[in-house]
Structure 1
Amino acid sequence: MRNLEEKPYTLDEQRVAEFLCNKGVGGGDDPIGFLLASYEYLVHERNELRKQSS
């Protein structure tokens, strides 16, 4: 089990969290926040695609 206080992300998670932060969504503060930020980004992208195809 990892120590979330000391190192909340694995290296892979950190890479994706940085990507999400660069997109303006944020990366969350822990694995659950990370998943929520990922979901928010995907919803935003889906909505943008719907606007473009209308």
Structure 2
Amino acid sequence: MSAGQKAMAMGEQALGKAVRKAAHAMHKETVAAKGAALEARGKARQTKERAKDGFKH
């Protein structure tokens, strides 16, 4: 997993989690769903990169 892709995946997960929690606290369910989607995209990116690393070894 390249360092840039790893940082991007972790950043998306952290940002998504922060947005989701803040939106839930303010009762903004639409924004919370967008944060959850961002977090899921970060997890998917991380999974994809780990799979690519698995084929390299």
Report the TM-score when normalising by structure 1.
0.48
Instruction: Judging by fraction of residues, say which structure has more helix.
Output: 2
Report the TM-score when normalising by structure 2.
0.46
